[in-house]
Structure 1
Amino acid sequence: MIGGTALIGAHAWAYGSWMVDDSAITFSYARSISEGLGPVVQPGAEPVEGFSNPTWTMLLAIGRLLGLFDRGTLFGIPDYVLFPKLLGLLFCAGILTACYLAVRKTTRRPWLVTLGIGAVLAAIPSFVIWCFSGLENSLFAFAVTCLAALLFRAVMDGRLHSARVALLAGVLAAVAALTRPDGAIYAATYALVVLCQLRRSTLKSSVGYAALSLVGFAVPYGSYLTWRFFEFDRLVPNTAVAKGQHFPGVSTLARTGDLVGYAGALAVLVLVLIVGIALARASALRAGLITLMVPLGLGVVAYAVLERDWMGQYRFATPVWVLATLIGALATAEVVRRTRGRVRVLVPLALVVAMIPSLAVFAGTVRDFRAKPTIPMCYIADRFGRVFNQYADILGLDQASLLEPDLGGSSMTSRLNIVDMAGLVDAKIADFYHDHDMAGLRDYVFNDVKPTFIHSRGPWGPGNGIARDSRLATDYTPIFRYVDDGSPVGDGDWVRKDAVASLEKLQAARSYADATVRDMEHRLDTWPRRHCGDTLRPGQTNINQSS
């Protein structure tokens, strides 16, 4: 376990202080909750469930109350970087511990098999990147792995029909569901495993224990849903509304091919053959492997039905990598145990050789992601937090608002009232996206919200039309333009004309933008793994340029 965890941590070290910007949305909610402000992204904001990971949010809030998170530095490292990454490492160790407890039921050298599992997981960029991104992936994978290991051990010991196992399986499924919305699919795990082991003599008890497992799931999860409904008047997180998650069709299952392509077709083929050999012969392990295939199958289905994730690197597949690796390790160990002579060496050797193309691709992925990771939190904290704070200071604005599409890092550093262009923390804007009403969204922004500042760039301009709306040129004047092509509207930083007290102040803001923003954009690809200062606090204007 220690060796495997060390390998995973060594891979994570390659990404430095990088954390994806969306993680800082959870950081902001954890800050507000720990300060007694409730579930708001900023002080004074409307309560909106702009997070979809309640358990992870609460862990961060507890860490802040204990002085371990969002307070300063730990061992000279900003705690907003170190604490989430240490949690990620802790849960990766927990994942390998759960794997060890499962493997111990079938092999005489469980430490060696567990080390192999850790080595494989450490080699998969998708797993490591998202477990150390500041998001909830490590906790989610830990909950699912614990559920799988619990049921595997119960089947191997003949304890599946047990009130303790049924209840604990339901509770672990609830933890998964409260860590990620798609985790609710694992509520069916125990019942499906019981179905796979169903016998006429146990039919009645099987139904009873399956119902008990659902109770173990429904009590904590249902309690949270009840609170969500009365607190936010929604049955799903606001993020799901904004992202437009719809009921999936059959064609979405074809997305499972993405995972095969990422892992490597040759490696997957050899792994499937080894698992098939292990299943072909009647043994105690066969029932255990079938048991593990249930949560693996549910994880693959969950990945397939979710809307494609713009962050890349198969963010929703974290539990899939763990369970597939665990099944492969158990099957390989079983085939090796049952064979003799050269075959005993050829089986693991074939698997290693089949993985070489995958490892080569993974190495390239690591190199590319190190150079250009998914939107860094610190870029947003500086670009839309500290820069717009400085705009407001230069223009002499005590109270101001900012409409922007990326708000994780900026919600930690901005003193402005942030209006979320993406709708993740804004229920009204989320509804416009859900209803595909971009004209209504633009009317709401320009006629009702009237933000002091507007930032638009990239796909958001053509996506919602705000940067192409004639009212932008009528009511706003540019501070910074990405491309000054002479058009009256476009991507960049804009301020309301009635918020500008003098042409001198506007010119000062533009001069600051020309010097600071252009340099920041130029440096984006040269310091993507930096941290952004010892602390993140509203009102800051100093930009940390250390790598």
Structure 2
Amino acid sequence: MSPRARPWAWLLLIVPLVVWQVVMWAQYTIDDAGITFAYIDTWLHGGGLAFRPGEPPVEAYSNALWLFVLTPFAGLGFDLVVVSKILGVLSGLVAAWGLFGVARSVPEARPWTAVLAPLALWGAPLYGFWVVSGLENGLFSMLLVLMTWRALIDARWPGARWTSQLPSAALQCALVMTRPDGILYVGAVQLWLLALAARAPAVIAGAPSAPARRMKLRRWTQRAALAAGLYLIYFAARYAYFGQILPNSFAAKGPGQNGGVRLFDFGAQGWAYVFDGFHAYAVAAPLVIAIALALAWRPARRVAILALILLFAGLLFPIVAGGDWMFEWRMLSFSWPLVALLLALGAGAAVGLGGRLVARLPRLPERVRTLAPPILGGLVTLVTVLHFRGPWIARADERAEKVNITITDLAHRSDFYAYVSELAGVHTPRVADEDAGGMTWKRQVGYLDLGKLGDLSLARHYPETYGHLRDYVFHEDRPDLIHLHGAWYDYKLQDMVEWRELYAPVLAAHTKRFDHVFADNVIAVAPFVVVGPGAVVPEAKGWDGPDPVAGGRQVALSGAELAVVVADLHHQPGQGQAPLTWELVGRTANHGRLPDQLRLLPCDQLGAVPADAPEDDEAPEEGAPAEGAPARDERPADPPGPEVDTPAPAAAPAPASAPAP
């Protein structure tokens, strides 16, 4: 079989590109894929559609169809990381096949120019990176290409019965279920088909079987109604379960979170995102030239107009949403099949227009006229490949140096949380973090999603009021550990008084033990209550578990100044939990006898005294501050910086009954 005899054999040219992309990116599974995996795991274990069992249902994912596709494989025991990559690559291959078919459907199209569409698709690192990431990009691109191909078929012949509209309706519904912004592409296709139907002649003389305007409009109505009906069935079930019109991720990342809609402000963040992506891939000028050539060449004009309309519709989402923080232009990858198709149409138009020009030249041998199209096609293909080769390889090399946050990265951070929690004696820590996927999938931690995807309250109130943020994080949820980095410093949690009153920094000696705990993080552990013979007012002086003195806390306890430290913290995590006590290393007893050992309680028991605590006949009344303790509205001293050690207090001889440290 030869490419000349079997045009589809040209698709074999993309095999090296597919292998290159898979080998380069297979080791990375992006953190956001873990959100989908966590929901699937919770769902299969009877916890419903939520991050963790027992949590209320919140639609933190935006790829419902992808979740439904992966769930049966997880139920059968397959590894979701592997399955998601295999299905992503297979979907991407179907998308490449569909692009070649669309480009080949143009009259007078040549296979050696049509193959540029799948080559431009799989040759771009932004496409391969996201298809292999574990996310829904491959499925979305496949459905988008198939919907485009089917729309071209419907435009030529809408079918004789209403049932012939089911394939188009199913593809359109599936696209919106894969990502809600798929409605932009579906709306663009429907408007394009409606315009064609409205422009059709009422009757066609001499062709009684040709579809007239009324029939085309009827078929369009049936197609739109079927697509809407299929989606409304899903929407009704989804709304009944979550009570939301859009996924919570759209509230968390909507235009209101980025300064509002700025559609016509070409200097806005969304436009900059699109321009930067096109510039990085050196595609802006070739794309403009390709569009102009395709529109000038009559055989390709209809396909080019549809692809151009779809591209503009798809770019509306990153423009309005303000782009995305992730590397490698994830939001552009959804529209990249349309960019690849337009480049191939432009190449085909260049060959077609050039061939016609050559044919008009007088006195040319017939052999030259015959060889002109393939020679022109080869030159156009060669120029295109040489133009993109350098920038696209550079993009791949740059991305290989630094990828987005992956599930593996978050596993390291989770290990850090487990380490700190064990040192602090917190057996079931609640963590406030911004990276949801890797923190919730297969991790036994409570989770407050500062990224807002899985939290209705944060998604709907921020950034309207910082007062709600303060009350919600510090007083209502009260996590044991808080992690801030990057854009989440904008929450200003670190500037609020509760940050210093209720939390203490974990020093760098611990954060540097683990990968992906950034140097600029602020990670805090909630203070613990020292239970003694009266009211307790802890003052944070820094927390560094294994250091027996510098890591202690200074506490005021019923008129006594104590320097206390956590004992027996030198064991490594995983070697068992030793009893955690605070040893008395110094005191000034002017208020009766103090206990030799002070107990450590979790932060949610602030102010509580256990039943077995020593009694104190002279304890102050309930609600009154302890004698010698700071008033309630006084602000404790700020904790030292991460690299500053607290000077060790002079240790008084411990009482005879005190255990050895």
TM-score band w.r.t. shorter chain: 0.7 to 0.9
Amino acid at match of 1:275: A
Which residue of the partner structure matches residue 129 of structure 2? Answer: 129
Which of 353, 370, 393 aligns to 1:363? It is 393
**Cα distance change of structure 1 residues 426 and 249 upon mapping to structure 2, 3 Å threshold:** same
Q: 2: distance between equivalents of 1:416 and 1:314?
A: 31
CA offset at residue 114 of structure 1? 5.5
Q: Is the aligned partner of 1:478 residue 2:516? A: no
Q: In terms of mean alpha carbon deviation, does 295-304 or 46-55 score higher?
A: 295-304
Q: Relative to total residues, which structure has the larger helix share, 1 or 2?
A: 1
Q: 1: distance between equivalents of 2:86 and 2:239?
A: 33
Cα contact 1:394–1:505 (8 A) shared by 2: no
Which of 381, 390, 393 aligns to 2:411? It is 381
Q: 1: distance between equivalents of 2:542 and 2:333?
A: 53
Cα contact 1:481–1:491 (8 A) shared by 2: no
**Cα distance change of structure 1 residues 304 and 493 upon mapping to structure 2, 3 Å threshold:** closer
Any gaps of 5 or more consecutive residues in structure 1?
71-79, 485-489, 517-547
Which residue of the partner structure matches residue 264 of structure 2? Answer: 251
Q: 2: distance between equivalents of 1:297 and 1:68?
A: 39
CA offset at residue 87 of structure 1? 1.1
**Cα distance change of structure 1 residues 136 and 445 upon mapping to structure 2, 3 Å threshold:** same
Q: 1: distance between equivalents of 2:493 and 2:395?
A: 35
Which of 420, 439, 450 aligns to 2:449? It is 420
Q: 2: distance between equivalents of 1:407 and 1:257?
A: 29
Which residue of the partner structure matches residue 278 of structure 1? Answer: 297
Cα contact 1:442–1:465 (8 A) shared by 2: no
**Cα distance change of structure 1 residues 443 and 137 upon mapping to structure 2, 3 Å threshold:** same
Q: Is the aligned partner of 1:390 residue 2:419? A: yes
Work out the number of aligned pairs and report it: 492
CA offset at residue 236 of structure 1? 0.7
Amino acid at match of 1:50: A
Alignment root-mean-square deviation, CA = 3.3
Q: 1: distance between equivalents of 2:295 and 2:251?
A: 41
CA offset at residue 437 of structure 1? 1.9
**Cα distance change of structure 1 residues 148 and 224 upon mapping to structure 2, 3 Å threshold:** same
**Cα distance change of structure 1 residues 442 and 428 upon mapping to structure 2, 3 Å threshold:** same
Q: In terms of mean alpha carbon deviation, does 360-369 or 191-200 score higher?
A: 191-200
Cα contact 2:293–2:349 (8 A) shared by 1: no
Secondary structure at the aligned position of 1:398 is classed as coil
Q: 2: distance between equivalents of 1:196 and 1:366?
A: 41
Cα contact 2:193–2:220 (8 A) shared by 1: no
Which residue of the partner structure matches residue 222 of structure 1? Answer: 232
TM-score by structure 2 length? 0.68
Which residue of the partner structure matches residue 147 of structure 1? Answer: 147
CA offset at residue 215 of structure 1? 1.8
**Cα distance change of structure 1 residues 109 and 248 upon mapping to structure 2, 3 Å threshold:** same
Q: Is the aligned partner of 1:328 residue 2:347? A: no
Which residue of the partner structure matches residue 522 of structure 2? Answer: 492
Q: 1: distance between equivalents of 2:384 and 2:52?
A: 50
Secondary structure at the aligned position of 2:525 is classed as strand
Structure exhibiting the larger radius of gyration computed from Cα positions: 2
Which residue of the partner structure matches residue 105 of structure 1? Answer: 105
Cα contact 1:395–1:505 (8 A) shared by 2: no
- The C-alpha deviation readout for 1:415-472, integer Å capped at 9, x for no partner, is 1101111111011111122x532231122111111111111222212x1011222211
Q: In terms of mean alpha carbon deviation, does 309-318 or 95-104 score higher?
A: 95-104
Which residue of the partner structure matches residue 179 of structure 1? Answer: 178
Q: Is the aligned partner of 1:431 residue 2:460? A: yes
CA offset at residue 25 of structure 1? 0.8
**Cα distance change of structure 1 residues 294 and 266 upon mapping to structure 2, 3 Å threshold:** closer
Q: In terms of mean alpha carbon deviation, does 497-506 or 256-265 score higher?
A: 497-506
Q: 2: distance between equivalents of 1:224 and 1:9?
A: 37
Which of 411, 434, 440 aligns to 1:405? It is 434
1:277-316 equivalences under 5 Å are: 277-279=296-298, 283=299, 285-316=300-331
Which residue of the partner structure matches residue 617 of structure 2? Answer: none
Amino acid at match of 1:393: E
Which residue of the partner structure matches residue 545 of structure 2? Answer: 507
Q: Is the aligned partner of 1:4 residue 2:14? A: yes
- The C-alpha deviation readout for 1:356-400, integer Å capped at 9, x for no partner, is 4443222211111101011122111221x2221232233332332
**Cα distance change of structure 1 residues 113 and 480 upon mapping to structure 2, 3 Å threshold:** farther
Q: 2: distance between equivalents of 1:217 and 1:62?
A: 25
Cα contact 2:184–2:313 (8 A) shared by 1: yes
Q: 2: distance between equivalents of 1:334 and 1:325?
A: 14
Cα contact 2:292–2:346 (8 A) shared by 1: no
**Cα distance change of structure 1 residues 272 and 104 upon mapping to structure 2, 3 Å threshold:** closer
1:12-23 equivalences under 5 Å are: 12-23=22-33
Amino acid at match of 1:493: I
Q: 1: distance between equivalents of 2:487 and 2:223?
A: 44
Cα contact 1:270–1:351 (8 A) shared by 2: no
1:29-108 equivalences under 5 Å are: 29-70=39-80, 80=81, 82-106=82-106
Amino acid at match of 1:266: A
Cα contact 2:109–2:348 (8 A) shared by 1: no
Q: Is the aligned partner of 1:261 residue 2:279? A: yes
Q: 1: distance between equivalents of 2:307 and 2:486?
A: 43
Amino acid at match of 2:456: A
Q: In terms of mean alpha carbon deviation, does 326-335 or 499-508 score higher?
A: 499-508
Amino acid at match of 1:311: M
CA offset at residue 96 of structure 1? 1.8
Q: 2: distance between equivalents of 1:431 and 1:91?
A: 35
Q: Is the aligned partner of 1:449 residue 2:449? A: no
Cα contact 1:25–1:408 (8 A) shared by 2: yes
Q: 2: distance between equivalents of 1:46 and 1:91?
A: 33
Q: In terms of mean alpha carbon deviation, does 90-99 or 290-299 score higher?
A: 290-299
Q: Is the aligned partner of 1:464 residue 2:478? A: no
Which residue of the partner structure matches residue 543 of structure 1? Answer: none
Q: 2: distance between equivalents of 1:218 and 1:308?
A: 28
Cα contact 2:59–2:248 (8 A) shared by 1: yes
CA offset at residue 501 of structure 1? 9.7
Cα contact 1:454–1:494 (8 A) shared by 2: yes
Which residue of the partner structure matches residue 169 of structure 2? Answer: 170
CA offset at residue 178 of structure 1? 0.9
Greater relative contact order (Cα < 8 A, sep 6+): 1
Q: 1: distance between equivalents of 2:14 and 2:435?
A: 35
Percent identity between the two aligned chains? 21
Cα contact 2:281–2:391 (8 A) shared by 1: no
Any gaps of 5 or more consecutive residues in structure 2?
1-10, 203-211, 359-367, 512-519, 533-540, 552-567, 574-661
1:190-201 equivalences under 5 Å are: 190-196=190-196, 198-201=199-202
- The C-alpha deviation readout for 1:275-334, integer Å capped at 9, x for no partner, is 13323xxx4x43344344333332233343333111132211224221232233245335
Q: 2: distance between equivalents of 1:354 and 1:101?
A: 20
**Cα distance change of structure 1 residues 158 and 506 upon mapping to structure 2, 3 Å threshold:** same
Cα contact 1:56–1:136 (8 A) shared by 2: yes
CA offset at residue 158 of structure 1? 3.3
Q: 2: distance between equivalents of 1:213 and 1:163?
A: 8
Cα contact 1:34–1:65 (8 A) shared by 2: yes
Cα contact 1:191–1:210 (8 A) shared by 2: no
**Cα distance change of structure 1 residues 411 and 501 upon mapping to structure 2, 3 Å threshold:** farther
- The C-alpha deviation readout for 1:188-240, integer Å capped at 9, x for no partner, is 21342231352241443333322222222222322232223222221110111
Q: 2: distance between equivalents of 1:217 and 1:132?
A: 29
